[in-house]
Amino acid sequence: MTLQADNHPTPQQFTVQLLAPYKKHLLYGMASLIIVDVADIMPPVILKYAIDSIERGQDFATLAWCGLALLLTAAIQGVFRFFWRQFFLGTSHHSVYDLRKAMFAHLLKLPFHYFSRTRTGDIMSRLTNDIQEIRFMLGIGILVVLDASFYFLTVPFIMMWLSPRLTLITMTPFILIPVMVVMVKNSIHNRSKDVQARLSDLSSRAEENLSGVRVIKGFRIEESEISRFNRCGLEFVRDKIKLANIESLFHPALDLVVAFGMVVLLYFGGNMVIAGSITLGSFIALESYMLKLSWPMMAIGWIINIYQRSMASMERCLQVLREPPATASDQPQTESNSIGAAIEVSDLSFTYPEATQPGLKNISFKLEEGQTLGITGPVGSGKSTLLRLLMKMFHPDSGQIKIGGADAAQIPLKNLRELFAYVPQETFLFSESIRENILFSQENKDQPEVARSFADRAGLGGDLRDFPDGLETMLGERGVNLSGGQKQRVSLARALAAGRPILILDDCTSAVDTETEQKILASLRQNTRRSTCIIVSHRMVSLQNADLIIYLDNGEIAEMGTHQQLLEKNGRYARAWQRQRLKAELEKS
């Protein structure tokens, strides 16, 4: 199903949309619940007739029929309780599955700047803890609402039939309940939002510490991080206790109202039995119905608690779904296989949100299809930013990017991304086998020979022989059981296996030695002659065979040309080249 958060701005409206596909299941569950509740309210009346027949001295047959009726109602309740559990609880699980699936699909469509300003732990908390609160409301919550409503709409009328006067006297204390509900509902909602926010903070702190456990241990700051985690935990506990304080006052207050109603019933009902105004059977039935009313009275507090907490969680989920996805072009669709791999950039400028200085200024160059572009420059000069703009991870402030002669702004996002195979600086591997990581972009991942050939091209073939299971070696989280160089080569093999017309390498061989890097680049030149390559590297020896080299500095093109042309200019590139050559010679000697 498709969930449109922008069409339903409130949590209540979105809840209706979430349940809409399961109306039939809800109706079946409601019918089962009504049958159970009808069977549940019959025993007090049956008991009344049994007691009254004993008082009148009637024969045993009446008591026998009453006993059989009680057994029948118990059997009906047992059978149909199974069905309402299936329908109501099943609907809640299916609904939150749809919600979790919609949120995950939407997250993958969001622009990159959303993830740069949102913590992973916060996203995980919304996908787990908040959705759990919503599931509870959609299952048990709806069930309790319908169950309590049935009792409120039937039991008072049966009590009126038994004794109108005693019923009115007994129900008087219940007038206080709506007043109590109005007093606490907003407080529970606000406290629930605070609790979920603190839980997100706690999840984020745990996720960051577990992901960076090597850094923490390397700097020996375990105690400091434990203290920071404990502070987050204490804030969560404080907000949770504030919520519990409200609930601990509300629920006993409801119980007190119900107990007071029972006292009133015992006093006035007992006097009426003695006076002969009502029969003993009617009094016993009224007492039973008062006990049955105590459940929906207590359920009111439970329902308000569940509802307010779930609406707070639903609002947090809607915040994700309301985020606008990465924009696609409104121009006519262009198939990616009809777009060439030539790249032309004209007067490109870009500034990161909230940054005071532009990341790129007036960048212009042209790269023919099948050529190789080398990009180098100091740290923070805008190399990775340029790559992200080419792949439409960000939108430029001004200027134009053409790919295959088409304006990149007019190429649908999906089609444009299909042109690129990208190896980022920060290598990310999935907790799967090396084979599955290499064939990540392939539909059929059960091709070990294909995976091995790409591993060889990426210079990983020798390492595979050292692994206990070769290609089938399972990787830990983010490839933790591989060295930095091995992770980079698996990532490179993954990009090569994608077979895209444009290959982007963002300093992806920094963790391997120069000799291995040269072998990898030689293999790439031999096997990717038809692909347009963009290589970012601080090692200039890696770029010397490029058709065009750009030296970036402070977001601008300081120098541009072939390796030989840049050496002849004797500028920044040439000086950096000489420094690196001298350093390499000193290391050899």
- Residue 568: which residues within 8 A CB-CB, separation 6 or more? 574
pLDDT tens digits along 138-153: 998 899 889 988 998 9
Q: Find out whether 125 and 203 touch, Cβ atoms under 8 Å.
A: yes
Between CA 61 and CA 72 the distance in angstroms is: 16
Q: What is the pLDDT of residue 58?
A: 65
Contacts 24+ apart (CB under 8 A), 7-10: 9/318
Indicate the burial class of 547 (C-beta count within 10 angstroms; 0-12, 13-18, 19 or more). Answer: middle
Between CA 7 and CA 322 the distance in angstroms is: 10
- Domains of the chain as residue ranges with CATH: 11-321 (1.20.1560.10), 342-588 (3.40.50.300)
pTM more than 0.85: no
Query: How do beta strands 532-536 and 548-553 pair?
Result: unpaired
Question: Looking up tokens 């949100």, which residue turns up?
Answer: 353
- Could you tell me the CA-to-CA distances from 14 to 6, 235, 313 in Å, in that order? 10, 30, 12
Q: What is the 3-state secondary structure (H, E, C) of 375-433?
A: EECCCCCCHHHHHHHHCCCCCCCEEEEEECCEEHHHCCHHHHHCCEEEECCCCCCCCCE
Joined together, the tokens standing for residue 257 give 């109202």
Q: Angle of helix 280-321 relative to helix 142-162, nearest 10 degrees?
A: 160
Amino acid identity at 313: S
The candidate with the shortest Cα–Cα distance to 489, out of 501, 475, 500, is 475
Give the CA angle between residues 48, 52, 57 to the nearest 5°.
150
Joined together, the tokens standing for residue 122 give 């916060």
Residue 220 three-state SS: coil
346 phi and psi angles, rounded to 5 deg: -130, 120
Between CA 98 and CA 101 the distance in angstroms is: 5
- State the Rg of the chain over Cα: 35
Query: How do beta strands 532-536 and 360-367 pair?
Result: unpaired
Which residues of the chain are under the pLDDT cut of 70?
Answer: 1-9, 58-59, 185, 214, 327-338, 528-529, 589
Q: Find out whether 438 and 494 touch, Cβ atoms under 8 Å.
A: yes
Q: What is the pLDDT of residue 556?
A: 93
Q: Find out whether 310 and 397 touch, Cβ atoms under 8 Å.
A: no
- Could you tell me the CA-to-CA distances from 252 to 231, 258, 298, 340, 454 in Å, in that order? 32, 10, 9, 72, 68
- How far, rounded to the nearest angstrom, does the alpha carbon of residue 173 sit from its chain's CA centroid? 45
507 phi and psi angles, rounded to 5 deg: 50, 45
Q: What is the per-residue burial (b if ≥16 Cβ within 10 Å, else e) of 244-261?
A: eebbeebeeebeebbeeb
Amino acid identity at 240: K
- How far, rounded to the nearest angstrom, does the alpha carbon of residue 153 sit from its chain's CA centroid? 40
Cβ atoms within 10 A of the Cβ of 204, count?
19
Residue 347 three-state SS: strand
Joined together, the tokens standing for residue 516 give 């291995």
Length of the chain counted residue by residue:
589
- Residue 246: which residues within 8 A CB-CB, separation 6 or more? 184, 187, 188, 191
- Residue 275: which residues within 8 A CB-CB, separation 6 or more? none
The candidate with the shortest Cα–Cα distance to 445, out of 503, 518, 497, is 497
Q: What is the pLDDT of residue 2?
A: 56
Query: How do beta strands 420-423 and 502-506 pair?
Result: parallel
- How far, rounded to the nearest angstrom, does the alpha carbon of residue 225 sit from its chain's CA centroid? 26
Beta pairing partners, 365: 345
Q: Find out whether 360 and 349 touch, Cβ atoms under 8 Å.
A: yes
Count of H helices and E strands in the chain?
A: 21, 10
122 phi and psi angles, rounded to 5 deg: -65, -40
H or E stretch covering 272: helix 222-275
Residue 11 three-state SS: helix
Q: Is 473 left (phi over 0), alpha (psi -120 to 50) or beta?
A: beta
